[in-house]
Structure 1
Amino acid sequence: MFEECFQRRWYRTAACYILVIAKLEGPAVSQYCALRLLQATLDESLYELAGELVRFLLRSGRDFENANTDSEKLSPRFMGYLLFRSPYKRQSSDLKSNSMKELSPHINSVMNILESHASYLMSGKELSKLVAFVKGTQFDLVEYLQRERQGSARLENFASALELIGEKLQMDTLQSRLDAEFLLAHMCSVKFKEWIVVLATLLRRAEVLVDLFRHDLRLWKAYSITLQSHDVFSEYLDLLSALEEELSSVSDRTLQSNGPVS
């Protein structure tokens, strides 16, 4: 029944059979089925269901590790899934953090699937889906961003990134603005400057930009030139004027606080 539901893409119904499979056929088979189902639900952006599967896999994986320490007892098919790699190739190296290297094969297989999906969404700038994915699966976005700063999370060009991400997020909707705020908070936590500039611009968060630019005037100059030299960014010229005024005010206050130069 599981296989029939899976083939018909009745993933919610298929998930109901996972516990039955665990009782009748054992944890190895149920883990294998759950891993297949997890990948399928991620491909369909069914992130709440994916989150339920992640919790099941992590819990049952730990139980299975305790019950079976001999990897030779696992079927070749299941061992293949433990070494699962998504067909999507991550742009960065496959170096893992120390915490991931220490994980059991069962848990590591889940993390491989989640990381591959995060890289797929990040590279395609599918940011609303990324937020839903993170919230649904409790994926550690901060750790991922720290590791992928020069990989799939890297922004090559500010102008093209601002235009593309603006189109993807559709900032005229409340949910998109909430998604952008969620991402901005995470980017600030890891001090991911390129992303902070793009998201704060889209959200018109002048206070965030001022705090960034007053410590990096070269970045401010490049930002100002970019917005003024592209017609597509004309909607941000009022923001640019407000930033220029605020930065000038900050500079004046700094000079006053330092006092006259003797």
Structure 2
Amino acid sequence: MGVIGPICFLLLADQLSYLKNVYRDDGIELLLAIYWLLLNLEGPAVSQYCALRLLQATLDESLYELAGELVRFLLRSGGNHLTGGETSAHVASVRNILENHAGYLMSGKELSKLVAFVKGTQFDLVDYLQRERLGSAHLDSFASGLELIGQKLQMGTLQSRLDAEFLLKHMCSVKFKEWIVILATLLRRMEVLFDLFQHDRRLWKAYSTTLQSHPAFEEYLDLLDVLEHKLASVGDDDRQGGPFVDQL
């Protein structure tokens, strides 16, 4: 591995203090200088391996702005210094690290961190959601989902509301009805809920019954009353609500 290669592992030995101190004091420039030093003295294989380790460390410590800088730099440098086959493997490694982290956050419903991760790294959340409907993004039921996501997002803060709006926009783009209903309820987005329920009365009935039967959801009863009056003024539509309705 030569003389410089071990520096990579020394730098990563104390990942938390090293990453936070470097990024605070010198920013991405110092990290990229280290990368170029490894690249020039040790070659692409060692430098790419160390850079991938560093990317994983930044994600583990939720340093998403720094992770985004590393991702962009890694993808550019991989194209410039690796052969065709090596480039494909390198890009796949970067994407695999990002997807694994997204899965970790979504499985734990760490939604504010997920939003910061997506914004910092430009991770394709829409593509991920389309593939993970029955995986890490799956919700067991409306009641448990509303309670858990409400606890995770802590809607009393402005940032949490902005995070919820960001997620709602992406869920709407992939028509992920389970998440749309929950996020729109937490945000009290009347127009979103009304649009869903006026075309799906079976979903509305299940939604109404669930909110009324759980004491923990008493705060949403006023929202329920307004929706009921608005829906009573439009025609009925008994189209099926899909499998999520049966889980409400």
TM-score of the two chains, using structure 2 as the length reference: 0.84
Please name the residue that 1:5 is paired with: 11
Give the C-alpha shift of residue 8 in structure 1: 1.8
Give the C-alpha shift of residue 205 in structure 1: 0.2
Matched, 1:41 2:58: yes
User: Residue 112 of structure 2 is aligned with which of 128, 148, 167?
Assistant: 128
CA shift in 2, pair 1:234/1:69, >3 Å? closer
Contact persistence 1:15–1:37 (CA under 8 A):
no
Matches within 5 A, 1:89-104: 104=88
**Uncovered stretches (5+) of structure 1, i.e. residues with no partner:** 72-102, 255-262
- d(CA) in 2 for partners of 1:57 and 1:250? 54
Matched, 1:52 2:58: no
Matched, 1:113 2:89: no
The percent of aligned pairs where both chains have the same amino acid is 71
Give the C-alpha shift of residue 70 in structure 1: 6.8
CA deviation vs aligned residue, 1:135-167 (integer Å, no higher than 9, x gap): 000000000001111111111111001000000
Give the C-alpha shift of residue 248 in structure 1: 1.1
CA deviation vs aligned residue, 1:97-137 (integer Å, no higher than 9, x gap): xxxxxx81110111111011101100100000000000000
Give secondary structure in 1 for the equivalent of 2:234: helix
Please name the residue that 1:182 is paired with: 166
Contact persistence 1:210–1:247 (CA under 8 A):
yes
Give secondary structure in 1 for the equivalent of 2:149: helix
- d(CA) in 2 for partners of 1:70 and 1:150? 32
Contact persistence 1:114–1:139 (CA under 8 A):
yes
Matches within 5 A, 1:1-262: 1-9=7-15, 10-11=18-19, 13=22, 15-16=31-32, 17-65=34-82, 68-69=83-84, 104-251=88-235
Contact persistence 1:34–1:57 (CA under 8 A):
yes
Q: Point out the more displaced range, 14-23 or 240-249.
A: 14-23
Contact persistence 1:159–1:226 (CA under 8 A):
yes
- d(CA) in 2 for partners of 1:54 and 1:168? 27
CA shift in 2, pair 1:237/1:70, >3 Å? closer
Give the C-alpha shift of residue 211 in structure 1: 0.3
Contact persistence 1:15–1:34 (CA under 8 A):
no
Contact persistence 1:27–1:60 (CA under 8 A):
no
**Uncovered stretches (5+) of structure 2, i.e. residues with no partner:** 1-6, 23-29, 238-248
- d(CA) in 1 for partners of 2:119 and 2:85? 35
Give secondary structure in 2 for the equivalent of 1:212: helix
- d(CA) in 2 for partners of 1:132 and 1:38? 15
CA deviation vs aligned residue, 1:207-255 (integer Å, no higher than 9, x gap): 0000011111111000000000000000000000011111112338x9x
AA at the equivalent of 1:165: I
Number of residues of Structure 1 aligned to a counterpart in Structure 2:
220
TM-score of the two chains, using structure 1 as the length reference: 0.80
Give the C-alpha shift of residue 69 in structure 1: 4.8
Give secondary structure in 2 for the equivalent of 1:104: helix
- d(CA) in 2 for partners of 1:206 and 1:113? 38
Give the C-alpha shift of residue 188 in structure 1: 0.2
Q: Point out the more displaced range, 12-21 or 209-218.
A: 12-21
RMSD, aligned α-carbons: 1.7
